Structure formats: structure tokens, C-alpha cells
Chain A
Amino acid sequence: MTEKTYIKRYSKIHRLFHIFIVLTFMNQAVTGFSFLFITTDLGEKLSRLLGGYKTTFFLHKVGGVLMISGFLIHILYLLSKIDRRNLKTSIFGPDSLVPNLQDIKNLSQRVLSFFGFGSLPKIDRWAYWEKFGYWGVFWGMPLLGITGVMLMFPLLICSVVPGWTLNVAALLHRAEAILAVSYLFIIHFFFGHFSLSKFPLNEAMFSGRVELEELMEERPAWVERLQKEGKIELLKAKAPNPWYRVLYFIFGYAALACGFYIIIKGIDYSRYIKLH
């Protein structure tokens, strides 16, 4: 059997951030859903499962604080990654997650290709949907964080701002949470895992590496660029350790199952959702 070559796609810190956000987000989603549906049997069951309303609330707050700190650390990480010598390529270049003109081109190529026109876009390191997802989370975090802190300390916050901002904060918090849950558990799952080659679980984010062959199909521009710059040898890696693989398969399936449960139940009970 010939060995497959793998390319390192995500560094350790990327994967750590991902696992961290998976855990905290799942926590927020489950506890948050138990509040959102507290007037129905679903909410009551979830709440009971997690140890009652007060414990659930506590878990939600702890998860929120962890998430905010994770976000701040992530921002520090981003700042440390900016190369100040060549600011322009480090921010708008193909290795950055900042959307650029190429993404718009890729998007229009992709949409045209759905209707049988033209060829598939050649995607570089980050596809436009990955960028969209990243910035979606990036803008959701401060919104959820700020409104969440407002609802956490309503009395303290109201020593400076009038109370009607709490009405708005609660509305935004709920709406953004619903948006995030539906984006992640429908669209992010779809892009991540719902394709013939990867179907039940896409390992890339856990093992951090992708097969070179697969990558040539999916990210042709990136592979080309790496080859041209001669960096591809540096990124080659071995297959993931089987024990580690077992571990992350268990983790990944659990997370997927949890997400699917939440989204299906959420859609089923969506008529009870009240934004206010």
C-alpha cells in the first residue's frame, strides 16, 4: 500500500480554537434553547436534564464568559499574525481570511456553473463560504457578548443606560442566537461534512491535515501557489495517529449528533419562538 501524502491545513492553535468554540457553542446552544423554549415541554425537558433553570442559567453564563475570553484571545492571536512589513499582502492576500475580489469572482463562477455555464472556480486556501462563516461568527461574537453581558447584569448596566435598551438587547441576543444556530447546524455542517468524499465526518479540522489529492481537486489555486513558491514540501505531513483519530471521531460524532438534535427540534418547535 502506498502512503498517502497529507498537507497540513490547520495549525495546532487553529484546531484548539475550533474545539474550544465547538464546546462552548454547544453549551450555549443547549442551555440557550432551554430558555428559548421554556414555555414548552422541550425547554422544560432540556432544563431538567441540565439541572434546573438556575443551573442552566449558570452554565449559560459560564459558557458566555469563556466564549468572550476566547474571542479576545483570538483577536490577540490575529494581531500577532499581522505582518507589518508587508501589510497589504498579509491582510488582503490569499492566506488571509479577509474577503477580496477573487472571492466575488469565485462566487459568480460557482453560481454560473450551477446553470451549466463556465467551469468551476479555482479556490485558494479559503473558500468564500468559509470566509463568510468566519466573519459571521466574528460579528456574532461581540453582538452576543455585549447583549449577553447586559442581560447578565441588568441592574448594574441600568445604572448608566435606560432600561429599554434591555428590551433591544434581549431581542438581538435571541435573534442572533437563532441565526448562529441555524447557520452553523445547517450550512456550516453542510459545507463541512456533506460531500461524497467526506460524508459523515470531515476530519480536516480535527487532524489538521488533508490528503494532497483531495486538496488538488478542492483548492487547486492553493496547491498551485504552494508548488510555485516551493513551500509544499514544508507542509507535508504523515497520516494522523489512529488513537487520536478514534478520539476525535467520537468527539465529532457527538458534536454532530448534538447539533442535529438541536436544529431538528428547533425547527419542529419554531412556532413557539418569541423574539421578545
Chain B
Amino acid sequence: MKKAFIKKSRTVYFVFGIGLLIGLAVLVMYLPDPGRSQEEVVSPYITRLRERVRTGYQEGYEVKPRMSVGYDLMKGGYYEGNEVRPIKRTRDEFKAPGVLRDLFPVSSTGAEVRIRSHLPDAHAGIKFYQQSTCTECHSRQARSFHTDRAGINCRQCHGAEPIPAIKHYYSPMNPIRRHAYVCATCHEGANDLFAQYIIHEPAPGALTTKESFPVFFYANWFMVLLLLGTMAFFIPHSLMMFLQELAMKKGKTGIDILFPLIPHRFKATLRKRFPKKKAPEK
């Protein structure tokens, strides 16, 4: 009996062990290669690299600006020879899954703003730029871990004048080389995957975050609801338990002490409908 039992559990362990090993092997095969830190990268996702070779698509930030040939700001495309190539053809840059930042432009002149992201000077032609501080115009960006906790200022990352836009091909902020040119100045050995950390986090509770960073949004609301739910249940519960104990000590029925505010008549009807069983007197 005992021996058979041990034998059985041994086979179970054996099968488990083999399964674990196979699982690990599969995981190792399908995990992307470790990120690189020193060189420029084309695409942060290895799988994307394969995909791009197949489809011929380019990420937005991988397209060199063709200023000399002609760069049509209003139409949102670039000229190649006589042909206008719409910028739509290029893929949006990497983000958290489902992130569509560019669908929600920061200003009312959305189209123009989007295209600014490819300029060598992000503030070219913006009025009163010299007279204002960064946070006056970019108040959302001021709330970030690096700025308000670690005390890093904007220029330590964004650099000196002119501040290049994020997706400009030669910008240090370009995801191709951001890890090496920006992050690695402080985080030694930062690689391209690390640079996908979202510095200017959106407000996690906001509805727009549901589109731009869904994982963040749902994680936040899950935790908030969990906290509120636990508190909303257990705080009244424990208070009531304490009052109940008090009531028991004083020998009153629960209802008298728990609900001193209930009108007398209502209490009486309640009693009638639910008569209390009397405890045997000693």
C-alpha cells in the first residue's frame, strides 16, 4: 500500500520535472535576445525586425527627414522625387501594447503637433518660447518620477537648445539611440528595452490612459477597487463587531445599542416580527 503510493508519487514528480524542463526550453527559445546597450538599434523588438524585412515597413523614427527635397508639414508626408510619400505609411513607434499616443494630440492643432515630432527643433516658430519655463507649457510632463522624486531637470535628458523633437532622426531621444545617448548617461549599461520605460507616465486613473497604456490603467483600477472594497467591507464590519461585544457585555439586545436612532416604533415592529429567543436564566 505504502510502496505503491510512493511509486505513484514518484512518477508524478518525474512527469512534472520533465514538463518543467520542456517548458523552460520553450521559454528560452521564444524569449527575445537580451537587449543591447552600446549600439544603435533598428527596432526594439526582434520579432518586429523579422516582420519588417518581410513587409518593408519602417518605424516612424527610422525615416530620415528629407528636408532638402521637401517636407510637407501640413500634409504630413515627405517628398521623394516628385512623389509624396504619406507619413502614414510608416509605423508608429513602439509603445506599451495598444498605445496610440498620436491619436490624442496634445494641442488643438493636432496635425501640426504630430509632425513637430519629426523636427530638429521642436520649438521652431513657437511664440513666447524664450519667455516661459518648460513646465508652463508641458505641465503633464512635469509629473514624472525623474522630475519630482529624483530631482532631475528637463534639460538633463532633453539637452540644450535647440531641443530636438522625439522622433527626429538625429535626435538623441530617438528610440534608436535613446538608451545610449540619454539613459546611459545616468543608468550605466542601459539598453534599448530599458529605454522603453515610459518616463512621462500618463495619469493611471484617467480614461485616456485606457487607450494609451491599457495595462497601466487596468492595474491601477484593479488595485484601487481592491483597496476600497476591502476597507468598505471590513471597517464597518469590525466597528459593528466591537459594538456588538459592548452590547453583549451590557446584556442588552443587539438592536438597542446598535441602532439608537431607529424610531421606537420601527424597532417594536421588528421585535414582533423576529422575536428573540430568551437565553435560559441562571
Residue numbers of A with Cβ under 8 A of B are: 38-39, 84, 110-111, 113-117, 119, 129, 132, 136, 154-155, 158-164, 166-168, 170-172, 175-176, 178-179, 182-183, 186-187, 190-191, 194-196, 274-276
A276 to B5, CA, bound (A): 52
Nearest CB in chain B: distance from A20 CB, A: 24
Q: Which residues of B contact A111 (CB under 8 A)?
A: 237
Grouping DSSP codes into helix (H, G, I), strand (E, B) and loop, the A interface class, with mixed when no group exceeds half, is helix
| B203 contacts chain A at the CB level, 8 A cutoff | yes
Binary A-proximity of B133-156 (CB < 8 A = 1, otherwise 0) = 000000000010100110000000
| B162 contacts chain A at the CB level, 8 A cutoff | no
Please count how many residues in chain B sit with their CB below 8 Å of the partner chain's CB atoms: 57
Say whether B34 contacts A196, CB under 8 Å.
no
**Quick one: closest A residue to B195, CB to CB?**
A163
Say whether A196 contacts B249, CB under 8 Å.
yes
Say whether B203 contacts A158, CB under 8 Å.
no
| B169 contacts chain A at the CB level, 8 A cutoff | no
Say whether B230 contacts A179, CB under 8 Å.
yes
| B238 contacts chain A at the CB level, 8 A cutoff | yes
Between-chain CB contacts (< 8 Å), 8 pairs = A115-B258, A116-B270, A117-B274, A129-B234, A158-B190, A196-B245, A275-B204, A275-B220
Nearest CB in chain B: distance from A105 CB, A: 16
A167 to B245, CA, bound (A): 46
Nearest CB in chain A: distance from B265 CB, A: 15
**Quick one: closest B residue to A158, CB to CB?**
B194
**Quick one: closest B residue to A197, CB to CB?**
B245
**Quick one: closest B residue to A111, CB to CB?**
B237
Pick from A168, A171, A187: contact of B238, CB under 8 Å:
A187
Say whether B189 contacts A155, CB under 8 Å.
yes
Say whether A164 contacts B198, CB under 8 Å.
yes
Say whether B274 contacts A168, CB under 8 Å.
no
Nearest CB in chain B: distance from A272 CB, A: 10
Given A164-B197, A182-B231, check contact A159 B191 (CB 8 Å).
yes
Say whether A38 contacts B149, CB under 8 Å.
yes
Please provide the 10 A-B residue pairs with the shortest distance between their CB atoms, ordered closest to farther.
A163-B197, A175-B223, A163-B196, A158-B194, A116-B255, A159-B34, A164-B96, A190-B238, A162-B196, A276-B201
Binary A-proximity of B229-245 (CB < 8 A = 1, otherwise 0) = 01100110110111011
